[in-house]
Amino acid sequence: MKTLKDLFEHQLKDLYSAETQLIDALPKMAQEANDTKLQKAFEGHLEETKKQKKRLEEICDELDISPKGETCQAMKGLIKEAKSFIEEAEDDEIMDAGLIAEAQRVEHYEISGYGTAVRYAKELGHKKIAEKLQTTLNEEYDADNKLDKLAENRLNRKAIEK
């Protein structure tokens, strides 16, 4: 990579890989969740993630690049950690509290990635692309906030009572 344009393209491919991996992982997280609101949150975010992946495809089309060709190692590791947690959790309430923690790690990674991509798009003069990426960034913040509310209002308390 020699230019900001090269780095921007790399970031987009990395995000595309991350979203693709997440689409595969979210159904398992929803299945393992015991709380119906948490299940619905994961299912809702799965649909949102599919739209985010499509948005990245549109952006890459506009830039005349393929979104494929990268493997997001960070997302791969985050998903591996979540799978490991699922195997270790022995209690429904602990499972739900832990699933939220794992999902928030993913959200925070995505927030960082999309924040960077928005900044690069602006610096490269891609105003419309920056707006599309900002839409996704806002969705990631919203998903993180929903998980926060679930944890704070219900699920962490249930886990404490154990």
Boundaries of every domain in the chain: 4-160
Averaged pLDDT, 38-64: 97
Looking at every residue in the chain, the average pLDDT score rounds to 94
Enumerate residues 6+ apart whose C-beta is below 8 A from 77: none
Backbone angles phi, psi at 35, to 5 degrees: -80, 130
> Taking the domain 4-160, which CATH number applies?
1.20.1260.10
d(CA 87, CA 67): 32
pLDDT band at 160 (very low <50, low <70, confident <90, very high): low
d(CA 14, CA 136): 15
pLDDT band at 3 (very low <50, low <70, confident <90, very high): very high
Task: Identify residue 4 by its one-letter amino acid code.
Answer: L
- Could you tell me the pTM of the whole model? 0.92
H or E element at residue 47 = helix 36-63
- 105, with CB counted inside 10 A (0-12, 13-18, 19+), is middle
